[in-house]
């Protein structure tokens, strides 16, 4: 049997109703959500289960809600006795991966992602930053176009390298707007502006990274029980100290998701278990390599099925 990686989704995977069936059918999942409500001092569970969508989509709410949903489903899935050889998470999902690997306690991760969301929301005044999804362009060509636009018009950088033909860019409103117009120069078939509240994973997020760094320094980071493949460089890390530093860099660096999955496949992973809301990561992984098995543990029913 090949190796197994647990992967955890990030922002964009949220949906009203996520985690509700787990909460209603399983004591361990219920305990996770009840504890989250207690730690944060408001009903995060009600927001995740009943919305409204507009409120759930606010970054400072989305981040803890997705974390709680992933950890509730993970607690249920543990009963199948399936254990990962590696863990990874997409952006915010890296915090779920760190909880799964024993690096962070759920309490600490929850507080951190709530603050991370608030810092990210406040880092750049509304309307000054933007993001766009670029479909069909090669990474090197797109990087070249970003550099040329940044030098002349306004900052635009790679934010998420998700899978072949799908890269998200982030930066100043001007820079991203020009990239939307000129994407074809990098071979893009389409460039789609994204409805987001800020230029995430760009150097414009440095104020958020600085504030987060201060908060991370107050928290204990244990050594990882299994290697965590970090977003920043798509390599395995087990040192708690290194993982702490990488979470600061992650705020202003591109998420190297395609590289992460290729690294894992190279290490013999042939089964990916996506734990959390939706099936976003399953879709990306299949675009990277159709031959691997991907299981999405996104409901109470799915969490009860072993490999």
Query: 9 and 98 in one domain?
Result: yes
> From the candidates 96, 201, 202, 296, which is the catalytic residue?
201
Q: Which of 149, 180, 196 is the last residue of a domain?
A: 196
Peptide bond into 20 cis (omega under 30): no
Domain membership flag for residue 131: no
The answer to whether the beta carbons of residues 113 and 250 sit under 8 Å apart is no
At 155, the pLDDT band (50, 70, 90 cuts) reads very high
Domain membership flag for residue 174: yes
Strands (E) in 232-288, as ranges, are 236-237, 269-275
| Strand order through the sheet with 190-193 | 156-163, 166-172, 129-135, 190-193
Range of the domain at 151: 137-196
3-class DSSP state of 157? strand
At 117, the pLDDT band (50, 70, 90 cuts) reads very high
Please compute the mean of the pLDDT values over residues 192-206 and round it to a whole number: 94
202 given a catalytic annotation: no
The CATH number given to whatever domain includes residue 170 is 3.30.70.250
Question: Considering the chain, what percentage of its residues have pLDDT values greater than 90?
Answer: 96
For residues 176 and 195, give the distance between their C-alpha atoms in angstroms, rounded to a whole number. 13
Domain membership flag for residue 132: no
Q: In angstroms, what CA-CA distances link 253 with 13, 61, 215?
A: 20, 22, 19
Beta bridge partners of 154: none
Please compute the mean of the pLDDT values over residues 211-238 and round it to a whole number: 98
> From the candidates 45, 70, 91, 253, which is the catalytic residue?
91
Query: 231 and 111 in one domain?
Result: yes
223 given a catalytic annotation: no
The domain tally of the chain equals 2
Supply the mean pLDDT for the chain. 97
pLDDT reported for residue 109: 98
The sign of the CA dihedral 134, 140, 143, 149 is negative
Question: How do residues 183-194 score in pLDDT, each as one tens digit?
Answer: 999 999 999 999
Tokens of 159: 């934010």
pTM given for the model: 0.97
């Amino acid at each position: 049997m090949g190796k197994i990686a647990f992967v955890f989704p990030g922002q964009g995977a949220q949906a009203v109703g996520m985690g509700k069936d787990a909460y209603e059918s399983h004591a361990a999942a219920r305990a996770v959500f009840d504890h989250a409500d207690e730690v944060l001092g408001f009903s995060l569970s009600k927001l995740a289960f009943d919305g409204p969508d507009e409120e759930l989509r606010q970054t400072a709410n989305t981040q803890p809600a997705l974390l709680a949903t992933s950890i509730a489903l993970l607690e249920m899935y543990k009963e199948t006795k399936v254990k990962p050889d590696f863990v990874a998470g997409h952006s915010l999902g890296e915090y779920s991966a760190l909880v799964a690997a024993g690096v962070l306690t759920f309490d600490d991760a929850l507080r951190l992602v709530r603050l991370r969301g608030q810092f990210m929301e406040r880092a750049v005044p509304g309307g000054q930053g933007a993001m766009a999804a670029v479909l069909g362009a090669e990474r090197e060509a797109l990087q070249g176009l970003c550099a040329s636009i940044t030098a002349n018009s306004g900052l635009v950088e790679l934010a998420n390298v998700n899978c072949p033909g799908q890269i998200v860019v982030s930066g100043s409103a001007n820079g991203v707007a020009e990239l939307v117009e000129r994407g074809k120069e990098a071979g893009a078939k389409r460039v789609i502006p994204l409805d987001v509240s800020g230029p995430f994973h760009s150097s414009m997020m440095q104020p958020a990274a600085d504030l987060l760094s201060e908060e991370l320094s107050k928290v204990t980071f244990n050594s990882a029980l299994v290697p965590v493949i970090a977003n920043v460089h798509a390599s395995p890390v087990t040192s708690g100290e290194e993982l702490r530093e990488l979470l600061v860099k992650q705020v202003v660096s591109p998420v190297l998701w395609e590289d992460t999955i290729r690294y894992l496949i190279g290490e013999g992973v042939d089964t990916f278990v996506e734990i959390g809301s939706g099936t976003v990561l399953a879709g990306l992984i299949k675009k990277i390599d159709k031959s691997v098995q991907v299981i999405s543990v996104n409901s109470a029913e799915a969490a009860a099925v072993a490999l």
